[in-house]
Amino acid sequence: MGYALTLALLLLANPLDPTNFLHVELGDKTVAILDRADYTLPVGGVPVADDYQLQQLLDAVAKEAYIEPINATINAHGAIVPEKKGRKLDEAAFLEQFYQYYYGQGAATMQVTCKEVHPKVDKALLSQVRKKVIGQYATYFNSQNKNRSHNIKLAAQAINNYVLFPGETFSFNKVVGKRTKEKGYLPAPIIVRGELSEGIGGGICQVSSTLFNAVDKAGLHIVQRYSHSRNVAYVPPGRDATVSWYGPDFVFQNKYAYPVMIRAIAGNGTMYVTVNSFPEIEYEPRHVPSVSQKTPEEGPASPETITEPTLP
């Protein structure tokens, strides 16, 4: 709704008090126009601010003002893409200005004050946490199965560049999110109650299984992990991690004193994950059996499936 139309409607609703409006500005944009009468409760003949209405206003302006910060990342060429700061409403400053208007007289205009929101991962942190590889694992898939390959690449992108701080836990389902058509996932074979079936997001479990073996090799604490009801071709028996949006999740914790970073890439028939950290980290690696470079069950592998991609 445009500013002029909003003001006209307010004038119709409050024909006797056109000079009592508070204009709430965010930069050069009007985000709210209000009348103190709409935020007043008559209590014993004394006007009192309506806390419920005020909280509704505060929430609406906060939502309008919020800009999510963006973490620094490593791009496909190995270069660090710097972080971007976000912003959020300075609620204390907002309330102070509101009450100045509320207990004053006539109309007023207030400019919304915001605070900077710093991203969790900045360029300086990323430059250090990438330096030492403490775990890595590769699995192979049939690149000719286009739908499954597409799903694997999407899920790999979702976990790539993820930084886990000391004591934090990583949930595959929370990080990757629900696998839906709207997010670009395609139908591909999945295992349901021990039988092969077709479902949206088929192939995702190869990503979670590759991640499991990499983080297990790095000695991270495995919190939650479930195997499929039958063996899968892309990892040794018992080394898989099945995931489902309405079912099993794969969860692990960073037990070390330094942050760790997940790097993941899928392409040319290979799913590859590394776990990186600071060069000073003291970690406890575990022995993890490697997968044999064999033809996946779902079809003949293309010649490039035995080549591990190189992470920048």
Q: Please report whether residue 62 resides in a domain.
A: yes
Give pLDDT, residue 241.
94
Q: Please report whether residue 47 resides in a domain.
A: yes
Whether residue 163 sits in one domain with residue 45: no
Give the mean pLDDT per block of 10 residues along the chain (312 residues): 43 53 93 90 80 94 96 93 97 95 91 96 96 96 89 95 97 93 79 44 87 97 90 88 90 97 94 96 93 54 35 52
Residue 1 corresponds to which amino acid? M
* Residue 221 lies in domain: 132-306
Whether residue 144 sits in one domain with residue 109: no
Q: Please report whether residue 91 resides in a domain.
A: yes
Question: Which CATH number goes with the domain that contains 12?
Answer: 3.10.20
Q: Please report whether residue 124 resides in a domain.
A: no
Q: Considering its fold, how many domains does the chain have in total?
A: 2
The string of DSSP codes covering 241-298 is ----TTS---EEE--SSS-EEEEEEEETTEEEEEEEE-TT--------PPPP----TT
Give pLDDT, residue 133.
97
Tokens of 289: 């059996």
Give pLDDT, residue 27.
92
Give pLDDT, residue 310.
46
Whether residue 109 sits in one domain with residue 143: no
C-alpha 43/C-alpha 58 separation (Å) is 22
Whether residue 287 sits in one domain with residue 149: yes
Query: CA nearest 146: which of 241, 234, 245, 267?
Result: 267
Whether residue 220 sits in one domain with residue 102: no
Give pLDDT, residue 231.
81
